[in-house]
Each structure stands twice: as structure tokens, then as C-alpha cells.
A = this chain, B = another copy of it.
Amino acid sequence: MNNIDWLNALETPFLLIDEFRFQRNIDRLYQRTEKLGSQIRPHLKTLRSIEAGRYLLKDAASPATVSTLAEAEAFAAAGYTNLLYAVGIAPHKLPRIASLIRKGVNIHILLDSPEQARAVTDYARANGVTFSVFIEIDCDGHRGGIPPESDALLELAQQIDGNGATLTGLLAHAGESYACRTDEAIRAAARTECKAINIAGQRVRALGIACPVLSVGATPTAHFAEDLTGITEVRAGVFTTFDLVMKNVGVCSLDDIALSVVSTVIGHNREKGWVFIDAGWMALSRDRGTASQAKDYGYGLVCDLYGSPYHDLCVTITNQEHGIIALPADSGLSVDNFPVGTRLRILPNHACATAAMHQHYQVLKSHRNEQETWQRITGW
């Protein structure tokens, strides 16, 4: 493992994906979910990459989730046809949705209000197109959605279905599970998420609306759910690479983290015990997701170039293109352990935010440590 010349040759900073860990993370969740009788609709927002998506989507009709129309259009152009755009639909975005539908893409939109539904049915009628709609269900007060027991849900379902739109599914997202501190808390969040969507599903179906898809998911609940009865699909995104936030939540170990930023030592402040690297927040992101968790990793955990973490060594401060690693007094390390030119890997707080700072990713392939480059889909 110690002779990967290209890791030393590429310009730094760069984002590195470890294919072995990436594949292992995917296998773990897919096998777990299939055993529970459901399937994964992966959220592609973390890496936004066709090349990465191929590991997740077995065939053209495999279900997928996207966070932007830019992703939807790129995955559609790559041949994928079952795409859920899981951000509440804004009316001005309907022409782009309609254009995908006319190309034969089974794209689903999300909404939770009568005014959105009206915009959708009006547009459908005026333009001779039929939309596939998901209604967002609120399971934990985290963001948007309608309570599963509400009259508003039934009214919205009837407003949509058959009026230029098909009510394809209901969606819940246990956003609060990211704040869980124990496995049992995550299991409870998963039960709440499934219960909410099952209640909502029964009530909508009692109206005579088929509503075939019941969709739940967040990376923590996807890994801890014990009973997926009635759940037709589970969404998860960051699980392919994981990160320090997920490690703190208890969903993965440090050794599962498949994404890092490779950086070079560019200087020292000997008096302060500071090591400067060429990865600032432009390469690592401004995400400080571990700041509110039990273990704060600063702007990321420092590893050697081959991925072995230095115990408790973090990027302490970032400027735009500088990172500062403040060596703890009790670490036994001095700046001389990190000569100028030394390369280090930094594990990220939040993989989605770190990946967003890069236009492409370097991939360390399982096969003979070969190199591959994946492109990120940018923009909206």
C-alpha cells in the first residue's frame, strides 16, 4: 500500500475517494436493507457524479434521489430514468421537469402545500403533461412536510391525484436523527419515521388512491431501522463515503470513511507548534458539523498519506487556502515530524460539504491501487 506514486505526484489539494471503502459501505447498507425486504433509493447529492452513481444504480430504472435539477438532467442524459427530485418544487422549475418527462424520464417531484399543488395541476393542464408527485410527510418537526394524521394530507392527496398528476408516493426524512446520541435513539427515530409514513399511506390509500411508494430515510435511520414493513424504499446519501459527523453519531467507524482531502505541508510556525497545509476551507469546506458533537474534529482529522489517522490531530484553523494544524502539547509531535512537502490526508467533518468544494475526485481503485477521475455535476 505504500507505493502509490500518483498520490505523491498529483497537484494538491485534491479530493480522494477510496474505492474499497466506498464499495464496502454500499454493500453494507444495500444488503441490510434487502434483508429487511426493502430497497435503497440512493441520494446522489453527496458526490453528484455519474461515475459514482454507477456503483449505486444497477440498471437504468433503478430508483435514485437528487437534490437539484442539474443532477436530474445529468443522470437522465446518462440514461437513468427513475429520479426523485427531493426538494419542494418551485413553480418556475416545472418547465424543466416537463422537459424531462417528455424525454421519457420518470421524474418525481415533491410538495407539501395546496399552492404548490395548484401550480402543478395548472401547469399540467395548460401544457398537456402529467406529473408524478410525492407528498412530504413531517415525522419529527425537522423541516417541512405535513403531519400524517392531518386533514391537510387527505385534501392535498385528492387535489393532486388525477388532476394532471399522479400521487406516486409519500416521503419522510428523519432529519432529527443526525442529532441522536445513542443507537437506541436512532432506532427510535427510525420507528417514528416508518410509523409516520405507514399511517399517512394507509389514510391516503383509504381514499382509493394507489400511492404505491412509501419512502423513508436518512443515513442514521437507514442503518438502524429494524422493521421496514410497508416501506417500499429507503433513502440515504452520505453513507457511501461517511464522514466524521456520521462517526460521531455512531453510524460508522473512522476506518469506514472513504473520502479525504490530500494536502501538502507548506510551512510551520515553530514557536506555536503550527503546521501549515495547502488545504484551507476552499478544499475542506467551512462545515463545522462536529463542533456541536461529543468529539470536535475542528476542520478535519489528520491522517498520513496512506490513511492512518494521527490520534487527535486536527486541522484547527482554516483560511481560504491555508489550513493550520496546531500540534497538541501532549502529542509528542513537533513540526519536524512534518517537513515542508509532506503529504497528509484530511478526513472531513461533512462529506457532502467537502465534496461540494471540488469539481472532480481522484479515486484510489481497489484493483492494484490504480487511479481514476470522477467528475462532479455542478450548478443547479
Contact = CB atoms under 8 A, between A and B. Distances in A.
A336 B267 CA distance: 54
A339 B87 contact: no
Given A287-B286, A288-B286, A92 B264 contact: yes
A268 interface: yes
Interface string A310-334: 0000000001111010000000000
A88 B380 contact: no
Contacts of A45: 320-321
Given A286-B286, A320-B45, A380-B11, A281 B88 contact: no
Given A13-B380, A286-B285, A352-B320, A340 B276 contact: no
Interface stretch (A53-61, A109-117, A363-371): A109-117
B324 A143 contact: yes
A322 to B, nearest CB: 6
A332 to B, nearest CB: 22
A90 B380 contact: no
A79 interface: no
A341 B278 contact: no
Given A286-B353, A287-B286, A266 B88 contact: yes
A230 interface: no
A91 interface: yes
A130 interface: no
A378 B175 CA distance: 32
A88 B286 contact: no
A213 B142 CA distance: 55
B340 A266 contact: no
A96 to B, nearest CB: 8
Interface of A: 11-14, 45, 67-69, 87-93, 96, 111-113, 115-116, 119, 141, 143-144, 175, 264-269, 272, 274, 276, 278, 281-283, 285-288, 319-322, 324, 339-341, 350, 352-353, 356-359, 378-380
19 contacts: A11-B69, A11-B92, A12-B380, A13-B380, A45-B320, A67-B282, A68-B282, A89-B266, A90-B265, A115-B340, A116-B266, A119-B341, A144-B269, A175-B319, A283-B380, A286-B286, A320-B352, A320-B356, A359-B379
